[in-house]
């Protein structure tokens, strides 16, 4: 099979991925072998490839938003059949026995593994996935449109839940990439007033077109205090801006696996029982709930499509801000 492989991190503009021919993987007991049709390109992939997030194993095939069809079943798999459509997301596995897994918080399991970080991901023609962590997908869902839902969509949904936003509330979204665009559609479906802060005037107009009641810069104060906010930009100064904008008792949920830093800020921005919390991964329950909601709304996805051979170009475009929608590798 063909795959785009990270052998050692490097700037996206230097082409960190190597196109290689590899043997087809063989599913272990409890696993599925998928023929990949599409895999979305996430900012987390970029951060791993550039070294902002330390690689856990090298070489590794990145990609944790893959859509494919089941080609083979490992020993003991009973709930899947060849030809089924399946999605592969960031959470690749958890121990299932610790106190966090028992409490439905498998995203915090210390033994959790992650696709494209601990095991090979979807920048390849085939990949294996634990059958109990694969996500069932309807046959009529276009693979390119489905792929961005599997990380940006699900993690954005979890961030909304952790922010505590209620239907009809005032919500701030800081940064307006692919994940924020999906979260905005969920929030407007809930009847929220959505305020978007982003550096790009193009993205401000896009936010208004999707239903935001206000769009301004990250340093601009929204015209009303916010009940909750979610930050998507990997910049700590944006977190402080969101804290300044939320009302008493409000929560800022930080939707990022990596931040440059959080600058010093006065305690008054946190006082009045404001809360600041991180969003770490997501659970299989989050994925099921979000995908059902995405179909009901229905959520619209915007994609910039690349062939597998152009995986390096997709990363470079993402790094440079040239991606209009969600970057997706069309593979199958």
Spatial neighbors of 161 by CB under 8 A, at least 6 apart, are 286
Q: According to CATH, what is the number of the domain 153-278? A: 3.40.50.720
Domain boundaries, the chain: 2-148+302-330, 153-278
Instruction: Assess contact for 244 and 252: CB atoms under 8 A.
Output: no
CA distance 171 to 167: 10
How much is the pTM? Answer: 0.92
pLDDT surpasses 90 at 171: yes
> Looking at residue 260, what is its pLDDT?
87
The helix (H) or strand (E) run that includes residue 249 is strand 246-254
> Looking at residue 140, what is its pLDDT?
82
The closest alpha carbon to 277, from 225, 227, 228, belongs to 228
Backbone φ and ψ of 94, nearest 5°:
-145, 165
User: What is the per-residue pLDDT across 73-118, written as a single tens digit (0 to 9) for each?
Assistant: 999 999 999 999 999 999 999 999 999 999 999 999 999 999 999 9
Average pLDDT over residues 296-319: 96
2-148+302-330 topology per CATH: Quinone Oxidoreductase; Chain A, domain 1 (3.90.180)
pLDDT category of residue 141 using cuts at 50, 70 and 90: confident
Instruction: Assess contact for 260 and 238: CB atoms under 8 A.
Output: no
Two domains, one topology: 2-148+302-330 and 153-278: no
User: What is the per-residue pLDDT across 309-324, written as a single tens digit (0 to 9) for each?
Assistant: 999 999 999 999 899 8
Question: Both tokens of residue 147?
Answer: 């792929």
């Amino acid at each position: 099979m063909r795959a785009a492989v990270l052998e050692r991190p490097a700037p996206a503009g230097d082409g960190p991925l190597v196109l290689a021919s590899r043997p087809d993987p063989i599913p272990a007991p409890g696993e599925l072998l998928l023929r990949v049709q599409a895999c979305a390109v996430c900012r987390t992939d970029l951060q791993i490839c550039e070294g902002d997030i330390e690689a856990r194993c090298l070489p590794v095939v990145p990609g944790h938003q893959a859509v494919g069809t089941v080609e083979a079943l490992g020993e003991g798999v009973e709930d899947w059949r060849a030809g089924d459509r399946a999605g592969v997301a960031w959470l690749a596995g958890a121990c299932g026995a610790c106190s966090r897994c028992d409490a439905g918080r498998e995203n915090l399991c210390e033994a959790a593994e992650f696709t494209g970080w601990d095991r090979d991901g979807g920048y390849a023609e085939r990949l294996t996935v634990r059958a109990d962590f694969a996500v069932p997908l309807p046959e009529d869902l276009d693979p390119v449109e489905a792929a961005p839902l599997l990380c940006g969509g699900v993690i954005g949904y979890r961030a909304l839940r952790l922010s505590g936003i209620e239907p009809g509330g005032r919500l701030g979204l800081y940064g307006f990439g692919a994940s924020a665009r999906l979260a905005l559609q969920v929030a407007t479906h809930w009847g929220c007033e959505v305020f978007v802060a982003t550096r790009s005037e193009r993205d401000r107009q896009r936010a208004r077109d999707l239903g935001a009641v206000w769009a301004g810069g990250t340093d601009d104060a929204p015209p009303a205090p916010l009940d909750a906010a979610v930050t998507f930009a990997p910049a700590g100064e944006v977190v402080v801006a969101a804290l300044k904008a939320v009302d008493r008792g409000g929560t800022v949920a930080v939707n990022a696996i990596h931040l440059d830093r959080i600058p010093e800020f006065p305690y008054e921005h946190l006082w009045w029982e404001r809360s600041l919390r991180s969003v770490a991964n997501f659970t299989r329950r989050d994925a099921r709930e979000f995908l059902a909601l995405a179909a009901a709304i229905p959520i619209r996805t915007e994609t910039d499509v690349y062939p597998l051979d152009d995986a390096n170009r997709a990363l470079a475009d993402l790094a440079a801000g040239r991606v209009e929608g969600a970057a997706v590798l069309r593979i199958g």
